[in-house]
């Protein structure tokens, strides 16, 4: 197919431009009778993927059977409210399919141990099974449209492209081991990097098991959010890696905030509609950690956080082992504590500051109590009390001076970027 690239940095892509671009895509796939759309879930609510999915469904529904399978990975299925907010109310609910990472996958092959060893510099010399939802293979789809957002990411460096398939619609071993490979190699070396270790892993699997084998097209967005308004700054469509590379280049420009110095105190707001667990809420840790000073403090305003894991298994693992630092978790890993659950070990490593700065979760005690938060190794504060001092309705992104002279650095939407001081 002819790949389609559109950048409108600043003003953003208009509704009419978006419609024209999607028309140009679908014109290249005439006569399709069965289509699968793979958008993200609500944790990517600033991606514009929900709007794109609505438009695609509207354009295809008269001539094709259209299914929508959000790329949940290990996240909990979207509830009715999230479906309505993200995808509107015109798409019938029976068009949506749920990916169950524990049971719905088939094995396509494997990334050999020697390849994983080379990628990780010898740190992770294990074979990794390549698993995807079976409907990609046996669903009879004439066209599969993977819609997602390219943005700095803690595991893969820059999110989306084949990660949307291998993790979003992936199985236990690929999710577990790819996350652990990334964590062992070092998150701060990956964040915001296009060719991270995990990306090299997914690239290998893409070349070996997807390219030329599935009618798979990637639609990759780059967005910004200014004064509450989300703008679609770029959309890159195609079957090759090139659209991802272009999107990553723009995202690195627009979604990475470079500061000249680190902050002693960073405050980040976790939108309660978007983030309900520390599993995803820790984007507030990952994306801000490189702007927090040594000995500093990170405060996460977390009014909607009510659990640690997105499922019971990962919730219990977090409660059992806690965010206790890289060295401790790696020692437990070597002892076999995380057998079959390596994603938990990776998450716990990435969610710790390793003593470099403190992390305080300001929750509503009826959602997540002081005892629970402190039990996993974080400090706790009451949300209402903390939000009176650090009011997310008043604070502006970047440096703020409070009335009493305290200086803080505020991040209102951590999922949409990366903040770092060189």
Predicted pLDDT at 75: 87
- Whether 181 shows a pLDDT value over 90: the answer reads yes
Predicted pLDDT at 2: 97
Predicted pLDDT at 411: 97
Domain match, 234 and 299 both:
no
Domain match, 250 and 288 both:
no
Average pLDDT of the residues in 275-291: 96
In whole angstroms, give the CA distance from residue 21 to residue 243: 14
Domain match, 188 and 111 both:
yes
The CATH number assigned to the domain holding 270 equals: 3.90.226.30
Using an 8 Å Cβ cutoff, are 333 and 176 in contact? no
In whole angstroms, give the CA distance from residue 27 to residue 184: 44
DSSP 78: P
Domain of residue 288 covers 257-421
Domain match, 272 and 180 both:
no
In whole angstroms, give the CA distance from residue 107 to residue 136: 12
- Per-residue pLDDT reduced to its tens digit, 313-370: 999 999 999 999 999 999 999 999 998 899 999 999 999 999 999 999 999 999 999 9
Domain match, 391 and 244 both:
no
Average pLDDT of the residues in 237-257: 97
Predicted pLDDT at 85: 93
- Whether 99 shows a pLDDT value over 90: the answer reads yes
End-of-domain residue from the set 254, 278, 305: 254
Q: What percent of the chain has pLDDT over 90?
A: 93
Predicted pLDDT at 340: 87
Predicted pLDDT at 227: 78
Predicted pLDDT at 246: 98
- Whether 187 shows a pLDDT value over 90: the answer reads no
Predicted pLDDT at 42: 87
The pair of three-digit structure tokens given for residue 179, joined into one six-digit string: 């996350």
In whole angstroms, give the CA distance from residue 339 to residue 334: 10
Predicted pLDDT at 76: 86
- Distance from the first to the final alpha carbon of the chain: 41
Domain match, 195 and 276 both:
no
Q: What is the largest CA-CA distance in the chain?
A: 66
Nearest to 52 by CA among 164, 149, 121: 149
Domain match, 169 and 300 both:
no
Averaged pLDDT score across all residues of the chain: 96
Domain match, 65 and 214 both:
yes
Domain match, 285 and 168 both:
no
Domain match, 125 and 268 both:
no
- Whether 44 shows a pLDDT value over 90: the answer reads no
Nearest to 56 by CA among 82, 81, 104, 24: 24
How many structural domains does the chain have? 2
Domain match, 141 and 226 both:
yes
Predicted pLDDT at 74: 86
Domain match, 215 and 313 both:
no
The pair of three-digit structure tokens given for residue 18, joined into one six-digit string: 């978006």
End-of-domain residue from the set 188, 222, 254: 254
pLDDT band at 239 (very low <50, low <70, confident <90, very high): very high
End-of-domain residue from the set 254, 284, 303: 254
The CATH number assigned to the domain holding 167 equals: 3.40.50.11440
- Cα angle: 344, vertex 350, 194; to 5 degrees: 110
């Amino acid at each position: 197919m002819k790949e389609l690239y559109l950048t409108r940095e600043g003003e953003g892509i208009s509704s009419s431009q978006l419609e024209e671009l999607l028309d140009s895509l679908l014109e290249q796939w005439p006569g399709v009778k069965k289509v699968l759309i793979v958008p993200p879930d609500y944790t990517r609510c600033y991606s514009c993927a929900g709007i794109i999915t609505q438009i695609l469904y509207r354009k295809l529904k008269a001539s094709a059977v259209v299914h929508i399978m959000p790329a949940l990975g290990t996240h909990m299925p979207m509830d009715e409210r999230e479906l309505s907010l993200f995808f509107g109310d015109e798409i019938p609910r029976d068009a949506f399919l749920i990916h169950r990472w524990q049971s719905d996958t088939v094995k396509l092959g494997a990334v050999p141990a020697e390849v994983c060893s080379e990628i990780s510099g010898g740190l992770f010399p294990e074979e990794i099974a390549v698993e995807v939802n079976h409907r990609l293979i046996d669903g009879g789809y004439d066209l599969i449209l993977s819609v997602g957002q390219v943005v700095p990411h803690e595991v893969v460096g820059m999110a989306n492209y084949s990660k949307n398939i291998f993790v979003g619609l992936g199985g236990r071993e690929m999710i577990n081991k790819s996350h652990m490979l990334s964590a062992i190699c070092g998150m701060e070396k990956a964040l915001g990097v296009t060719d991270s270790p995990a990306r090299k892993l997914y690239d290998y699997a893409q070349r070996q098991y997807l390219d030329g084998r599935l009618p798979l097209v990637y639609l990759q967005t780059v967005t910004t959010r200014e004064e509450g308004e989300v703008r679609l700054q770029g959309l890159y469509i195609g079957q090759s890696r090139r659209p991802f590379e272009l999107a990553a280049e723009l995202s690195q420009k627009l979604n990475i905030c470079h500061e000249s110095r680190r902050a002693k105190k960073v405050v980040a707001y976790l939108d309660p509609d978007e983030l309900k667990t520390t599993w995803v809420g820790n984007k507030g840790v990952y994306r801000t950690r490189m702007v927090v000073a040594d000995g500093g403090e990170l405060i996460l305003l977390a009014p909607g956080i009510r659990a640690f894991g997105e499922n019971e298994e990962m919730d219990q693992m977090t409660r059992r082992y806690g965010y206790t630092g890289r060295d401790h978790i790696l020692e437990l890993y070597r002892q076999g504590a995380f057998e079959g659950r390596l994603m938990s070990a990776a998450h716990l490593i990435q969610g710790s500051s390793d003593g470099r700065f403190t992390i305080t979760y300001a929750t509503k005690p009826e959602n997540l109590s002081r005892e629970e938060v402190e039990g996993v190794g974080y400090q706790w504060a009451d949300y209402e009390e903390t939000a009176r001092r650090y009011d997310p309705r008043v604070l502006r992104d970047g440096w703020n001076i409070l009335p009493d002279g305290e200086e803080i650095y505020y991040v209102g939407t951590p999922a949409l970027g990366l903040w770092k001081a060189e």
